C-alpha cells in the first residue's frame, strides 16, 4: 500500500505524455523490403499498458491454435522498449506483431473518435480482443459471434507464384497494415450498427466490405513521410499504382494472385457494372472506387494552384526531382483531402438507418452530415464525391436531383414531433462532455456514470410509443431502443455543434417472421428509425426503415410492404447466384453463405 502510494507520488512529478510513438511497417514486410525498409513511426494516444498490449479498448492476446500455445506478450511500458519507440519492425519477433496490431488499431480508433465527435466505447464496456496468430490460413476475420474478436491467420506463400515473396515463406496477415485496419473497421462498423451483420439487401455486406477497404486505404494517407515519398516518386500523380492506393500487396502476391488483394483504382467507371455485381467484396470495390474518384478529383483541384505557383503559371511540372517544399505542400493537401473525405464517410453514421443500409442511404447520409458542418461546400469536396458515386452507377433513391439539398435527408420539422425529453438530452450531452477526459487507461474505465442508461432508454422508449406514426415505427412488432448518444463537432464557422442521436429497432412479430422464414432464407425482418435532434431536443431528421403494417393485405402499399417485397426479391436473386445454396440448410442459407469470415471473395 505504502509503496503504491509512493510510486503514484513519484509519477505525479512528471507531466503525463499525450502520445505514444510506436514503430510499425507502413504497409507490410514485403513492401518494406522492396522500398528499402519502409517502416514508420506512428503516434497513438497515450494510455498505460499491461503486457499484451492490454489497454482500455484493445487487448492483444497471442494464442496460436496451430501450435496450441501462447507467445510471450509484449510489454510496451518496459523502459527498454519505450526508449526505442517500441520494438523495431521485424517478422521474427511475435512481440513486434502484437505491438503493430495494437498501434494500428489504436490509430484507427482515434480517427473514428475524431470523426464521430465522441469517445468510443465497445458494447458492454468490453474490449476488442485481437489474436495475431490465431490460425493457419490465407485469411483474417472479424467474428461478430465470438464476442467480436479479430483473428489473423498466417500462411506459407504460394510455391509456384509467390509474387515478390520467397516461395513458401511465412506470410503474417497481422503484419499487413491494411488487413489490420480492414478487420478492425468491420468491428467498428459492427459496434456502430450491429444489425448490419444481417444481409437484408444486396448492399449491406458490400457496404461493410467496401467501407473497411476505403478506411484501410485512407489510413495510408495519415503517414506524412510515406505520402511525401510517393508524391515525389510519381510527380504528384496519386493514381499511379503504388502501395498507397493498393490494398494488402504482400497478402495478394503471397496468395498467388500476382497482385495486391484489391485497389482503390478499381475498373474504368461503368455505371452499369454495379447492376451486374453481386459478390460483396466486388460490389464493395465499386463503392471504394466511387469514393476514391471523388478523392482524386478533390485532390487535383486542391493542388492546382500549388502547381501553378511552382511552375510560374504553366501548371506543367519540369523534368527532374520536385522541390521538397512543393512535395511537402502537395502532400499536405493530399492528406487533408483524404482525412476530410474519410471523416465525411465516418460521420455519415450519425444518419445511417439502424438496419438494412444501402449505398444510396450511405451517400445521402454523407451529404447530410457534411452539410451540417460545411453548408456551402466551398472546396467542392462533396460535389466531387457525389460525382464519383454517379460515375459508378450508385444513384440515390427517392430523390429528385443530384443537387446537394435534394440528396440531404428531408427535414423532420413538418412531422410535428414534440421535442425530446429535456432531462434525457441534458444527460446525453453531459455524458459526452465528461467522456472527453484526459487519457485512457484500464483503471479509468470505471468512472462514475453521469446517468443511468436504463432510465434514459425507458424515457426514449416512452417517447417513441407516443409518436409511433411520426417516427415511422407504426406496424406490429416489438420496439427497442438500439442506442443513443450525443456528439460534438466543430462546424466551418468555428461554432460547436451538438447533436443527439437515438436509434430505434423494430422487429416484426415472431409469427410473421415464421410465415416468411423460408422465403427470407433466415434473414430477420426488421425496421427502425434513426432520430437526430439538436441540443434543445428539437428533432431535425428521422431516417426510417418501415416494417409492413399488415403483411397479409395484398394491396397494401406502405413502405414496409415494399421493403418486404424487396427483401424477398433479394433472397430469390441471392439464391440464383449462391453456389452453396443447393448444398446447405434452407432456413439459414443467407446467413451461412454470407459472413465476414473471408477477407477475400471466393468467386
Partner 1 sequence: MAIVRMYNVGFGDAFLVTVPRRGRPWRMLVDCGVHMHGAGDHTLESIVEDIIDTVSADSDGPPRIDVVVATHRHRDHIAGFDNERWHDVEVGEVWLPWVEDPEDSDAVALRNRQQAAALNLHTHFAADGDGDVADFVLNSLSNDDAMWVLQNGFAGSPERRYISAQGAKAHPLPGVRGGCVYFLGPPRDPRNLAAMDPPKAQRWLGLSAAGGGSAGGEVFPGFTVPAADFPQRYPHLAVSDKLLASFREEPVDTLTAASLLDRAVNNTSVMFLLQVGDALLLFPGDAQWGAWQPLLDDVDVRSLLTRTTLYKISHHGSHNGTPVEMAHEVLGGVTSLLSVRPIERWAHIPKEELVASLVTPPRHVVSSVFVDGEAPVTGVRCHPAGLWKEVELET
Is the bond into 53 cis (omega within 30 degrees of 0)? yes
Pick from 15, 68, 416, 555 the residue near partner 1 by CB under 8 A.
68
Pick from 224, 256, 315, 566 the residue near partner 1 by CB under 8 A.
256
Q: Which three cell numbers stand for residue 526?
A: 426488421
588 contributes a contact to partner 1 by CB under 8 A = no
446 contributes a contact to partner 1 by CB under 8 A = no
137 contributes a contact to partner 1 by CB under 8 A = yes
Q: CB atoms < 10 A from the CB of 473, how many? A: 24
Would you say 110 or 575 has its CB closer to partner 1?
575
Would you say 56 or 228 has its CB closer to partner 1?
56
Pick from 317, 524, 581, 591 the residue near partner 1 by CB under 8 A.
581
166 contributes a contact to partner 1 by CB under 8 A = no
138 contributes a contact to partner 1 by CB under 8 A = yes
Pick from 25, 154, 218, 463 the residue near partner 1 by CB under 8 A.
154
Would you say 107 or 141 has its CB closer to partner 1?
141
266 in Cβ contact with 289 (< 8 Å) = yes
136 contributes a contact to partner 1 by CB under 8 A = yes
Pick from 257, 306, 332, 535 the residue near partner 1 by CB under 8 A.
257
Interface pattern 526-565 for partner 1 (x via CB under 8 A):
----------------------------------------
User: Segment near partner 1 (CB under 8 A), from 127-135, 192-200, 225-233, 371-379?
Assistant: 127-135
Pick from 28, 158, 183, 482 the residue near partner 1 by CB under 8 A.
158
Give 510's DSSP letter. H
As a whole number of angstroms, the distance between CA 558 and CA 556 comes to 6
Q: Are strands 149-156 and 39-45 parallel, antiparallel or unpaired?
A: unpaired
Burial (Cβ within 10 Å: 0-12, 13-18, ≥19) of residue 272: exposed
Pick from 37, 492, 536, 585 the residue near partner 1 by CB under 8 A.
585
Please list every residue from 184 through 223 that binds partner 1, using CB under 8 A: none
Q: How far apart are the first and last CA of the chain?
A: 61
As a whole number of angstroms, the distance between CA 244 and CA 236 comes to 12
As a whole number of angstroms, the distance between CA 29 and CA 140 comes to 17
175 contributes a contact to partner 1 by CB under 8 A = no
As a whole number of angstroms, the distance between CA 551 and CA 291 comes to 38
As a whole number of angstroms, the distance between CA 463 and CA 419 comes to 9
Query: Minimum CB separation from partner 1 for residue 163, in Å?
Result: 11
Residue with cell 453548408: 375
Query: Minimum CB separation from partner 1 for residue 67, in Å?
Result: 3
275 contributes a contact to partner 1 by CB under 8 A = no
As a whole number of angstroms, the distance between CA 180 and CA 177 comes to 5
Burial (Cβ within 10 Å: 0-12, 13-18, ≥19) of residue 542: buried
CA neighbor of 27 nearest in space, from 267, 260, 198: 260
User: Segment near partner 1 (CB under 8 A), from 262-270, 347-355, 415-423, 567-575?
Assistant: 567-575
32 in Cβ contact with 229 (< 8 Å) = no
602 contributes a contact to partner 1 by CB under 8 A = yes
User: Segment near partner 1 (CB under 8 A), from 26-34, 141-149, 207-215, 410-418?
Assistant: 141-149
The helix/strand/coil state of 85 is coil
Number of chain positions touching partner 1 (CB under 8 A): 69
Residues forming beta bridges with residue 207, ordered by sequence position: none
Would you say 135 or 374 has its CB closer to partner 1?
135
Interface pattern 29-58 for partner 1 (x via CB under 8 A):
---------------------xxx-x----
48 in Cβ contact with 441 (< 8 Å) = yes
As a whole number of angstroms, the distance between CA 218 and CA 285 comes to 14
As a whole number of angstroms, the distance between CA 466 and CA 459 comes to 11
Pick from 269, 513, 575, 591 the residue near partner 1 by CB under 8 A.
575
Residue with cell 500549388: 306
Q: Which three cell numbers stand for residue 186?
A: 468491420
514 contributes a contact to partner 1 by CB under 8 A = no
124 contributes a contact to partner 1 by CB under 8 A = no
Q: CB atoms < 10 A from the CB of 325, how many? A: 9
Query: Minimum CB separation from partner 1 for residue 513, in Å?
Result: 18
User: Segment near partner 1 (CB under 8 A), from 36-44, 138-146, 217-225, 547-555?
Assistant: 138-146
452: left (phi over 0), alpha (psi -120 to 50) or beta: beta
527 in Cβ contact with 540 (< 8 Å) = no
User: Segment near partner 1 (CB under 8 A), from 149-157, 317-325, 343-351, 505-513?
Assistant: 149-157
The HSE-up count of residue 448 (CA atoms within 13 Å, CB side) is: 1
131 contributes a contact to partner 1 by CB under 8 A = yes
Longest dimension (CA), the chain: 77
User: Segment near partner 1 (CB under 8 A), from 5-13, 66-74, 211-219, 357-365?
Assistant: 66-74
Query: Minimum CB separation from partner 1 for residue 257, in Å?
Result: 6
Q: Give the residues lining the site for partner 1 (CB under 8 A).
A: 50-52, 54, 59, 61, 63-73, 92-95, 129, 131, 133-139, 143, 146-147, 149, 151, 154-159, 161, 170, 255-257, 518-519, 572-573, 575-586, 589, 592-593, 597-598, 602-603
Amino acid at each position: 500500500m505504502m509503496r503504491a502510494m509512493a510510486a503514484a507520488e513519484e509519477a505525479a512529478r512528471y507531466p503525463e505524455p499525450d502520445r505514444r510513438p510506436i514503430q510499425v511497417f507502413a504497409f507490410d514486410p514485403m513492401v518494406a523490403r522492396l522500398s528499402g525498409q519502409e517502416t514508420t513511426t506512428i503516434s497513438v494516444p497515450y494510455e498505460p499498458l499491461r503486457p499484451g498490449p492490454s489497454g482500455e479498448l484493445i487487448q492483444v492476446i497471442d494464442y496460436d491454435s496451430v501450435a496450441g500455445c501462447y507467445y510471450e506478450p509484449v510489454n510496451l511500458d518496459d523502459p527498454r522498449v519505450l526508449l526505442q519507440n517500441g520494438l523495431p519492425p521485424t517478422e521474427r519477433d511475435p512481440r513486434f506483431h502484437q505491438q503493430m496490431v495494437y498501434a494500428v488499431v489504436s490509430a484507427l480508433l482515434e480517427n473514428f473518435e475524431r470523426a464521430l465527435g465522441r469517445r468510443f466505447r465497445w458494447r458492454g464496456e468490453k474490449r476488442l480482443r485481437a489474436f495475431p496468430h490465431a490460425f493457419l490460413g490465407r485469411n483474417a476475420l472479424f467474428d461478430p459471434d465470438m464476442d467480436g474478436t479479430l483473428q489473423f491467420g498466417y500462411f506459407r506463400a504460394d510455391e509456384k507464384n509467390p509474387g515478390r515473396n520467397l516461395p513458401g515463406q511465412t506470410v503474417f496477415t497481422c503484419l499487413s497494415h491494411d488487413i489490420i485496419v480492414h478487420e478492425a473497421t468491420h468491428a467498428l462498423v459492427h459496434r456502430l450498427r450491429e444489425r448490419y451483420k444481417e444481409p437484408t439487401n444486396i448492399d449491406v455486406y458490400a457496404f461493410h466490405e467496401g467501407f473497411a477497404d476505403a478506411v484501410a486505404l485512407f489510413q495510408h494517407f495519415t503517414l506524412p513521410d510515406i505520402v511525401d515519398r510517393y508524391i515525389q516518386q510519381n510527380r504528384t500523380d496519386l493514381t499511379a499504382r503504388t502501395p498507397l492506393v493498393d490494398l494488402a500487396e504482400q497478402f495478394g502476391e503471397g496468395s498467388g494472385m500476382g497482385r495486391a488483394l484489391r485497389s482503390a483504382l478499381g475498373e474504368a467507371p461503368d455505371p452499369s457494372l454495379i447492376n451486374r455485381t453481386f459478390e460483396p467484396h466486388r460490389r464493395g470495390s465499386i463503392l471504394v472506387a466511387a469514393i476514391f474518384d471523388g478523392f482524386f478529383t478533390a485532390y487535383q483541384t486542391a493542388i492546382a494552384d500549388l502547381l501553378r505557383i511552382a511552375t510560374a503559371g504553366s501548371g506543367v511540372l519540369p523534368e527532374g526531382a520536385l522541390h521538397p517544399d512543393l512535395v511537402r505542400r502537395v502532400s499536405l493537401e493530399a492528406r487533408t483531402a483524404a482525412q476530410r473525405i474519410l471523416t465525411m464517410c465516418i460521420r455519415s453514421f450519425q444518419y445511417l438507418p439502424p438496419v438494412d443500409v444501402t449505398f444510396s442511404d450511405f451517400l445521402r447520409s454523407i451529404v447530410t452530415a457534411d452539410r451540417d458542418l460545411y453548408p456551402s461546400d466551398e472546396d467542392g469536396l462533396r460535389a466531387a464525391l457525389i460525382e464519383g458515386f454517379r460515375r459508378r452507377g450508385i444513384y440515390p433513391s427517392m430523390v429528385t436531383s443530384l443537387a446537394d439539398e435534394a440528396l440531404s435527408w428531408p427535414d423532420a420539422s413538418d412531422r410535428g414531433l414534440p421535442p425530446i425529453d429535456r432531462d434525457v438530452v441534458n444527460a446525453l450531452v453531459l455524458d459526452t462532455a465528461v467522456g472527453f477526459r484526459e487519457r485512457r487507461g484500464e483503471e479509468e474505465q470505471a468512472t462514475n456514470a453521469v446517468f443511468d442508461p436504463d432510465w434514459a432508454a425507458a424515457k426514449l422508449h416512452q417517447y417513441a410509443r407516443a409518436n409511433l406514426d411520426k417516427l415511422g415505427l407504426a406496424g406490429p412488432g416489438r420496439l427497442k431502443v438500439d442506442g443513443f448518444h450525443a456528439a460534438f463537432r466543430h462546424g466551418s464557422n468555428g461554432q460547436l455543434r451538438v447533436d443527439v442521436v437515438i436509434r430505434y429497432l423494430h422487429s416484426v412479430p415472431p409469427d410473421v417472421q415464421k410465415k416468411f422464414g423460408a422465403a427470407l432464407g433466415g434473414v430477420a425482418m426488421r425496421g427502425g428509425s434513426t432520430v437526430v435532434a439538436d441540443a434543445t431536443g428539437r428533432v431535425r431528421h428521422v431516417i426510417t426503415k418501415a416494417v409492413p403494417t399488415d403483411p397479409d393485405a395484398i394491396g397494401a402499399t406502405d413502405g414496409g410492404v415494399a421493403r418486404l417485397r424487396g427483401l424477398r426479391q433479394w433472397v430469390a436473386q441471392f439464391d440464383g447466384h449462391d453456389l452453396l445454396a443447393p448444398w446447405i440448410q434452407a432456413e439459414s442459407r443467407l446467413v451461412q453463405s454470407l459472413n465476414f469470415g473471408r477477407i477475400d471473395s471466393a468467386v
